[in-house]
Amino acid sequence: MKLRNILLTGMAVLSLTACNNYLDVDAPSAYTEDFVFTQKSEIERALNGVYAQALVNDLYGNAYQRTFNLNSDVDIQISSSSSHSHTSYTRFDCDEQGGDINKFWNAAYALIETADKFIYSAEHSNLYNTSDLELMQWIGEAKCLRAMAYHDLVVMFGDVPFKMDPASQLGDNYNVPVADRQVIQDSIMHDLMAAEAYMSSTDAVTVERCSKEFAQAMIARIALAAGGYSLRPVKDNATSYGKMERPENYKEYYKIAMDYSKKVWDAGTHKLNNTFDQVFIKECNYEVVNNDDPIFELPFAKESTGNTGYTQGPTYSDYEGKTVSAWGKCDGGARLNAFYRYHFKKEDLRREFVNGLWYYSYVNTDAGMKDSVYIRNDYSVHDNKWSKLWTDESNALGNDKSGSTGINFPYMRFADVLLMYAEAANEYQGGPTPEAKEAVRLVRNRAFAEANRANLVDNYINAATTKEAFLKLVLDERKFEFAGENMRWRDLVRNNMYAEELVYCFLRYYSAGMQNLGSMTGYEDAINEHDGVVYIDKLPSNVYFHAYNVDEPIKATGLRMYGAQFYGCTVGGTGVNLYLDRTYPNKKFQSLRIYNAYETKAKPAKSLITNQGLLAEDWNTVTFYEWGNESTGTPKDQCKYSFYGFMRSDANGNIWLVRDGALVGFDDSMLTDVESLPVVRYILPYPNAAIQRSNGAYKNYYGY
C-alpha cells in the first residue's frame, strides 16, 4: 500500500531537524527532542520528516527530474537564445546568480541537516541499541537519504561543504569546510557499508523506504562515480573550465561497485518480471511493487508532493483552468532528443513506448469543448514513461489539477544495478565476463519479444568481445533504458565521453537544419557511422498520420507483432509500415497512427489500409525537421544554441566550440581526435548566496 502519510507526519517534526541557514520552520511546541527520541513511535514520525525534506520540488520532486537533467543524446531542453543566461543549466551556460541552483543547494543541505539531526539524536538516545533492528533500520534509512543528497551534490557541484554531524555540534562555526569529493564519497560509502548490515530487505520495508538492497545499490552507484572521471578545477587559473581526471586507485572503486551490485543481484529480492512499460504504468497508477524492477521509489503523496507525470508525458492543455477530461493539465516539458528514437532497433519494445510524438489540447465545437490529439513536430519528443494520463480515470486527480501528482519516481532500479555490475566488472576484469554478459542479457531480454532474442540479445552481446566494445554495449543499453531518469549525462561524464557525444548531438540538429535548406553539411557519414545506423540523410520531410481510437478493433492479417505493447505492421506485403499503440494506457483519448516516422516514404494508398480492415480516413500530412532559416541560410536558432555553453553556431554558418570561455573554431579532425575537444562545463557553480554567507570561505572555479 502506498505510503501517504510521509509528508503530513513529517512536516510535524521538520522543526526538529531543519537548520535556519536553509529553511525556517515554526515548531509545534509539543515536539521537543527529549520527547521524540524517548519514544519509538515518535522516532518513526521524525524519520518521516527526513523523507519529507527529500520530496520537495526544489530537490527530488521536480528539480532532479527536470531542471538539472542536462542535455545529451537522450534528454534535452531546447533553447533558441543566442546570449548568456543565469539559468541555462542544461546547455552548460549559467552562473552563480541562477535561482534554481540556490534552491537546490538549500534543499539538499536541508535534507542533510535533517538527516544529521535524526541520526545524531537516535544514536545518542537512551533507546539506542544495535540489537534493536527496527531502530537500526530507521537510522540506516536516514543515512541512505543523506548519502543520496551528498552523492548528487558531488556529481553536480564537485567538491562541496561536508559534515556528518548536525549544526548544533559545530560550535560557533557555521561555515562547513569544503571537502574533496573523494573524501565525501569514501565517507558516505563506508557509512552505508556499516549501516546496511543492520537494515531489512525490500520485502520487509517496501520500495517506498530505503532497504538493505537500496543501501547496497547506493554504495555501488557512489563507487562507480568515484572511480570514474569527473571535472576537476584548475585552481591557479581563474579562466579554466577544469580538467577531466579519475583517481589513481580507480579500480578499487570499480571493485566496490562490482561487489555491492552483485550483493543486490544475489539477494534475489528484485527481478525484471514486469514488462518495461508496466513498471512505469504501475507507478502512474499508484501501485507499489516490491519484488520487481524498482528498488527505491521516492514516495510522493497524491495532491501533495511530486511532479512526476506532470512534467513528463504528453502536454495536455487546459481552458480557463480546467481540462475537458478528468486528468488535469500536463506540462509535458521534460523532453527527449529528437534523434534518440533513431538509435533503437525497430524491434525494441522501449522505443515506441518512451518516445511520444503526440500531445493533447482542446477544440471548441458546436457541441462544446472536446479533447483533440496533435502530432509533435518540433525539436524534441515527449518522454512518455510517466504521465498523469496513464492513470486510471477512477484515480485521476481532477480536471482543475496540475502538479503534485503523487506519482512515485524510481531513484534506483534493478536494471541499473545489473548494468552497473556489467560496467564495473568489465573495467575491473579488463573485459566482459560471463556474469557481466548475463547482467546485460537480463535487461535486454525484457526489451525484445522472445522471437527476436537469439539475434538481438544473445548474438548482439556475444559479439562484444573486447573491453571497449563491451563498455559501449553497456552504455548503449543504459541509454535505451534510463531516459528521463537523470542518468545519461552522468554515464558519459563518468566514462569521459560527454564532449564527444555532445559534438554529435549538435551536428545532428545542425545537419537536419541544413538539409531542410537543401544542403548537406558533410558530417552525415560521420554521424551515421558514429550512431551505427544510416538515417541522418534520410529524414522524412513529410510525415503522414491520422487519429484513431485506441480501443477500436483491427484485423491481425498481415501484421507483424513486435510485442504486447506496440505493433509494427507490414500491410499486405506492401512495405507500408505503421506503428499502432493497441494497448496504450489511456483508451479514452485518441492516439495517432504515424506512417514513415523514421524515413521518407510516399503517402500510403487509402485502399491498402481499407483492405486490411483498418480505418479508411484520409491521411493528414505535417512537415517534420523544418529547421532551416531561409533568411540566413543557416539552421534555426534551436539547432544552433541548445548546447550553447559547449558548442554553437552563428548567423554566418560558423561552428564554434567553447574552451575556457573563449570561442574556438570546430575542426573536422576533432571527430577522430576527441582528446582535442574542450571539456564540458557540466559542474554547477556554488550559489552566490552560499558564497556570501561563507564570508569568502567558498570560492567558485571552472571559469565562473
Q: Are 628 and 513 in contact (CB under 8 A)?
A: yes
Compute φ and ψ for 157, nearest 5 degrees: -115, -10
Q: What is the C-alpha to C-alpha distance for residues 231 and 214, in angstroms, rounded to an integer?
A: 27
Estimate to the nearest angstrom the gap between the alpha carbon of 442 and the chain centroid: 21
Output the pLDDT for position 366. 85
Output the pLDDT for position 593. 78
* Closest by CA position to 332, among listed 316, 319, 321, 353: 316
Q: What is the C-alpha to C-alpha distance for residues 307 and 612, in angstroms, rounded to an integer?
A: 42
Q: Are 426 and 474 in contact (CB under 8 A)?
A: yes
E strands, 176-267, are 178-179, 230-232, 243-245
Output the pLDDT for position 558. 35
Output the pLDDT for position 607. 52
Output the pLDDT for position 462. 98
Output the pLDDT for position 546. 80
Q: Are strands 662-665 and 655-659 parallel, antiparallel or unpaired?
A: antiparallel
Instruction: Tell me which H or E stretch contains 544.
Output: strand 542-549
Output the pLDDT for position 605. 67
* pTM reported for the whole predicted model: 0.93
Half-sphere exposure of 124 (CA within 13 A, CB side): 11
Fold of 6-74+93-241: 1.25.40
Output the pLDDT for position 516. 96
Output the pLDDT for position 590. 87
Q: Are 250 and 227 in contact (CB under 8 A)?
A: yes
Estimate to the nearest angstrom the gap between the alpha carbon of 177 and the chain centroid: 30
How many residues would you count in the chain? 704
Q: Are 180 and 515 in contact (CB under 8 A)?
A: no
Output the pLDDT for position 273. 97
Averaged pLDDT in 10-residue chunks for the chain of 704 residues: 47 40 34 76 96 98 98 98 96 97 98 97 96 98 98 98 94 87 98 98 97 99 98 96 98 98 98 96 97 98 97 97 97 98 96 94 90 95 97 95 98 99 98 98 97 97 98 98 98 98 98 96 97 95 83 45 32 42 73 84 65 57 95 97 98 96 96 96 97 94 97
Output the pLDDT for position 553. 53
Output the pLDDT for position 591. 83
Q: Give me the residue spans of the domains in the chain.
A: 6-74+93-241, 542-623
Query: What is the per-residue burial (b if ≥16 Cβ within 10 Å, else e) of 570-593?
Result: ebeeeebbbbbbbebbbeebbbbb
